[in-house]
Structure 1
Amino acid sequence: MQAWTCWATCRSRRCGRPFARPSRSSGRVLRRTIWIPRRMGSRPPWPRPEESEKLPVYADPTEGVTVQAPLLRAWTVALLEKIGTPGDIAADVAEILVSADRRGIASHGTARLPSYVALVEAGVMDPAARPRVDRERAALARIDANNGWGHHASRFAIDWAIERARSTGSATAIVHNSNHYGIAGWYALRAAEAGMIGFSVTNASPLVAPTRALRALLGTNPIAIAAPAGHFGAFCLDMATSTVPVGRIEVAKRRGESLPVGWAIGADGRPATTPDEAQAGALLPLGGLEETAGYKGYGLSLAVDILSGVLGDATFGPNIIGLFRPEAPSDLGHAFWVIDPAAFEEPGAFEQRLERLLDQLVAADTVPDAPGRVLIPGEPEAEAERRSDARGITIDAQHHASLVELAEANGVAFPDISPNG
């Protein structure tokens, strides 16, 4: 519990405590021996019950407020500048966070600002750090985020890959020494907006138990793939490699609901049927239990960690410090790939064929009682984005309260809002 005492202290001021970087393979300390994280597994990688009630995500939006995206973006920039983030970096971070809110992915938007600010106050993330290319060869680059904003370093990386792919046909950029980067889909969509195919993956702190394992050893390790798709705008698959996100467990706990078999396991390794059991154990990979092919999700999660953490020389697997815990830097790894279809044929030909394929899918006959036609991955988020731009972004009551508290603590007035309903 020592770390949680430090967390409470660090939220109000920098704790100034030095830290060491654990070995990416064994947990031993590299380069300097100052501080070593406590033994893995000494505490489940979940929020404590009293913290879970305060999480500003997955709440009922009808109880919240509405704020216009430009105002929320400008306020976020001002807040980030107040804690030491240069203006151009703050603009990148704000753009990506507000994009998540606009697309209805509140768990990865401005709701995370209190956690980010706490990391800066604890001295374990450098808000002014700038990424640099530390290794480069033709269409490949490894980028050091210098323990700065994952969003800014990742935008730098995907832009490098897009620009390089214009001349080489494809490019790969890998980021290490980084932090949480928000929604994976933003970076893949940036390539799609440039007429290219984009891939984005990242590793994360361990919340998922590999098939047959008793405890969490891998992250939810998301995958995003996007491509230009004619009148559909873009195809955008953005998914975690776990069966459900941790927020679904938190919602079930608040509502007093039981859990379906296949979402999580308890501390004893058996299927969790209550949120308390799940919070004492681990999430299951996509597919759930072994008999329902959960090993496929486990393989996907591991592949993401190999490509982003292991290949990128970042921390990986069970060695990753919790994303929003102030003991030491997360040292996350991200990986990006860009393919320019115009390298294979005339520009636009690929997009036309993809549009034709998607037209065939949405025209498919549906099963009885289907709520509508077949959807294309990314369509619900794109519709949420259009709705947010027209009517404003819906922020639930807990999310709004956390931002107002943050605004007051840092002397940056929160923008005007209107109640929902």
Structure 2
Amino acid sequence: MITRRRALALGGVGAAGLAGAGAALISRGGSEAVTDAVAFTGPHQAGIVTPAQDRLHFVAFDVVTKDRERLVRTLREWTAAAARMTAGLDAGEIGAVDGMPEAPPDDTGEAIGLPASALTLTVGFGPTLFRDATGKDRFGIAGKLPAALEPLPRFTGDTLDEAISGGDIAIQACANDPQVAVHAIRNLARIGMGTVSVRWSQLGFGRTSSTATGQATPRNLFGFKDGTRNLKAEQEDLLREHLWVPDGDGPDWMTGGSYLVTRKIRMLIETWDRSSLAEQEAIVGRHKGTGAPLGAAGEFDEPDLTAVGADGTDLIPATAHVRLAHPDTNNGARMLRRGYNFVDGSDGLGRLDAGLFFIAFQRDPRTGFVPVQRSLAASDEMNEYVRHVSSGLFACPPGVTGGGWWGDRLFA
């Protein structure tokens, strides 16, 4: 019987042999059991329509080398390590404790004994990877820059901190154990030392969206159900229309991929908590308890944007979040949301530094995120209680197949 995080070390298996690693057998209390691993390979990257896990560690890197071959080598090494870690194994073949005592181990070791915890690792490339601030082609890939990867506009009310925005490469680690997610990012940063440096990172807990029909709708830190109308993995027709980049819709290397938008949204928790229930529900446009739209009984009832009350006013106010974010208000725009709550301590004045780390995947941010956020920024009553402090946009290529690696079609 072999233990977790030593299986591949014993067999010397590389990244190409990991396609079926998610179904490997491991030792748990003396009996065999199938791991809770999510398949790493496939037509689309895991961590997008994968049922949303409970924990997040998101990181954005700056590429600090000018050597294209070194960057490619790092992407290859990252792919091999990602495939191993998502299968519940050490980042390297030797592992955390079996190497030469005189050399650093090729895994940091804090995940020894932990299950895979449904870990997914999703990579995306930012616009600055293609061209620097002067417009110079950094790695010979400027000609492959997708038009959809144009920088996001600055929206009304944005208070963005550039130090925690943007980045050349992003990696999203999601898992059901925070230590597994942190371990994954830590080891990728270690492997990439000298090629990349961490620009910013974000921990998250308590998913704020469901991405599968079997998941209950979670709540955000305002106490409301969040993501009721989110796209789901089972809605394949809607995913083809709103999520996946089709053939011919941009450069070939993005076919089957998706575009990732991140926004760190600080919630003014203390101010919100002093607002009446009626005011909170009017701002959101839903009942706090059931999640039903105002004027409806069930959470999944369609919001009636034409309904009026006995006094002749809209049941769902014109400035309600639900109305302004609705596809009917935004020419049918839809996204797959995958955000998380965060609490980063206090701001030194006794106020929580907390809120929503918004994550959304879409076929094209110009027709997905941008029009919705413009609508919200202009009129959403919730703006009194939130501050957008960071922003990011990344192109996520399709999944790894046939022994490939992250970015293989981009750097071909």
TM value normalised by structure 2: 0.25
More helix by share: 1
More strand by share: 2
